[in-house]
Amino acid sequence: MAKKDDNFDFDTESKAKPSFDLSFLKNLTKKQKETIITIAISVVALAVIIIVGVLLLGGGDAINGNNGNGDINIDFGPTTGVESDEISDMILSSVPNKTVYYVGENIDLSGLTLYIKMKNGSEIYERYDDRLSSFVVSGFNSSAPIDQQVVTVKYKKQSVSFTVKIKEMPVAEPSVQSITVNPLPKTEYKVGGSFIARTAKIVATFSDGSTQEIALNRSHLSNWAEAIQAPGTHEIKVVYFDGNGGYAETTFTITVAE
């Protein structure tokens, strides 16, 4: 029988244990150590950013587990809200921002919010602004004026209603296009004299073709005070505002003597 050679070490278990010798770090230069530390910090920071991003985008329940192939599924929530068979009750939490329309306008449901009570007792709010493709509108017709028109909004087989008002489109008031002065006021004065209108009229022509006579008075004259103080011939500017944003002007001539 062969004799065991005492020069051989059969402690294979201890030999199999891995060992990590970090003594090489002592031989690194200061710059090499700084580089390694910088890389390590960057890796940790990147990992933190990725984790925070997933939590913010997907919420606390973002990670749903394995898909059967060893991959992780990330679920960012449903795109169409709750399912119809989960709804117990639904009411209108806030009406749309716009509830008064003019004839011919299209409906605008911006601001509409639904309060939904679920069969499991939970409560949620659904805004038209977030899920507009899931809302179906009926009853709106702006072809003619009406004080109260019922509009129905259907969401997930549930319906709510509210009223809107349809008004006639306001007709713009005609605006003044031009004016003349006929008959003229007194046109010959002494220096410092007072304006004498007599039977003078402003004849205004409007955008719809109509005309109107307005009694000419001192308030229509924009440069009278200067002109009446200087001998000679002067053009007096006449200005007329129609009250609807329209404006027109004309002139007539006076003679001032000393």
Can you spell out the DSSP letters for the chain? -PPPPTT----HHHHHS-----GGGGGS-HHHHHHHHHHHHHHHHHHHHHHHHHHHHH-TT-EEEE-SSSPEEE----SS-S-GGGEEEEEEEE--S--EEETTPPP--TT-EEEEEETTS-EEEEETTT-GGGEEEES---SS-EEEEEEEEEETTEEEEEEEEEEPPPPPPP-EEEEEE-S----EEETTPPP--TT-EEEEEETTS-EEEEE--GGGBSSHHHHTTSSEEEEEEEEEE-SSS-EEEEEEEEEEE-
Highest mean pLDDT among 5-9, 170-174, 230-234: 230-234
For the chain, what percent of residues have pLDDT higher than 70? 76
Q: Do both 136 and 183 map to the same domain? A: no
Instruction: For the chain, give the mean pLDDT.
Output: 81
What does the pLDDT look like over 199-230, one tens digit per residue?
A: 999 999 999 999 999 999 999 999 999 999 99
How many structural domains comprise the chain?
2
**Residue after which a domain boundary falls, among 150, 167, 184:** 167
Q: Do both 154 and 199 map to the same domain? A: no
**Residue after which a domain boundary falls, among 167, 198, 214:** 167
Do the domain assignments include residue 33? no
Do the domain assignments include residue 160? yes
pLDDT at 21: 58
What does the pLDDT look like over 98-123, one tens digit per residue?
A: 999 999 999 999 999 999 998 888 99
Tell me what the mean pLDDT of segment 227-242 comes to. 96
What's the whole-model pTM score?
0.44
pLDDT at 254: 97
Output the domain CATH number for residue 194.
2.60.40.3630
Give the domain range for residue 222.
Answer: 176-257
Q: Do both 118 and 187 map to the same domain? A: no
pLDDT at 57: 57
Which band of pLDDT confidence, cut at 50, 70 and 90, is reported for residue 238? very high
Which band of pLDDT confidence, cut at 50, 70 and 90, is reported for residue 194? very high
**Residue after which a domain boundary falls, among 167, 197, 226:** 167
* Lowest mean per-residue pLDDT among 5-14, 127-136, 160-169, 221-230: 5-14
Do the domain assignments include residue 193? yes
Which band of pLDDT confidence, cut at 50, 70 and 90, is reported for residue 54? low
